Amino acid sequence: MLLVDANRCCGCGICTTICPQGLELKVENGYARIINERADCMNEAMRACPQNAIAEIKEKLVFAIGTDDDKTIKANDHVGMANFFQILEYSDGELLFKEKRTNPKYNEDETRTHGDPGKAKATASALRGVDVLVGKRFGPNIIRLKNQFVCVIVREKEIPGIMDIIKNNIGSILVEKNKKDGKERSGIVLK
């Protein structure tokens, strides 16, 4: 499956000029959008993109969104203080709900000390198998958490809106996930 990474696309229109059968510029935001990934001219358009914004996505990714109410993201404190995590799986352009996990540290934590290494460890153990942790706010523990997860910060509050943001930015998330050769991961802010 092909995707245009909205964080990289600058809306230059080179790809849509080369391959109008496969891509168009979105009226609402000016980014390119794939309309037919099997178009003959698609490879040429991918090679010509100055931002390397058109990428093939083959991987499955598991996401965790911190929430207290299953409708909105945890907003009044750090993601590690959420009551629950919604676990979602991304594959072939779809992002689907898989399960809900309780955050055990939330109940055990009496001190609520931000940046406590034990808290980061507890969050990590509750999120086994997760690739990407999504929160509105991260505390000092982001330094530890980003070793294990791609840490994504979103400004949107409602979980369905956050799911759309994730799907539009899978390319950027994969770039962070696949960083190699000792390159340190960064937290990503997505709008």
DSSP 98-134: EEEEE-HHHHH-SS--TT-HHHHHHHHHHTTT--EEE
The separation between the first and the last C-alpha atoms of the chain, rounded to the nearest angstrom, is 23
Among 19, 42, 53, 127, binds ligand SF4 (CB under 6 A): 53
Segment 112 to 131, residues that bind ligand SF4, using CB under 6 A: none
Among 49, 126, 170, 190, binds ligand SF4 (CB under 6 A): 49
Give min distance, CB of 25 to ligand SF4, in A: 7
Among 4, 19, 127, 130, binds ligand SF4 (CB under 6 A): 4
The pair of structure tokens assigned to 46 is 């991918």
Q: Which residue has the tokens 């809306």?
A: 11
- Here's the x/- map for ligand SF4, 12-41, by CB under 6 A: it reads as xxxx----------------x---------
69: number of Cβ within 10 Å: 11
Where does this chain bind ligand SF4 (CB under 6 A)?
Answer: 4, 9-15, 32, 49, 51, 53-54
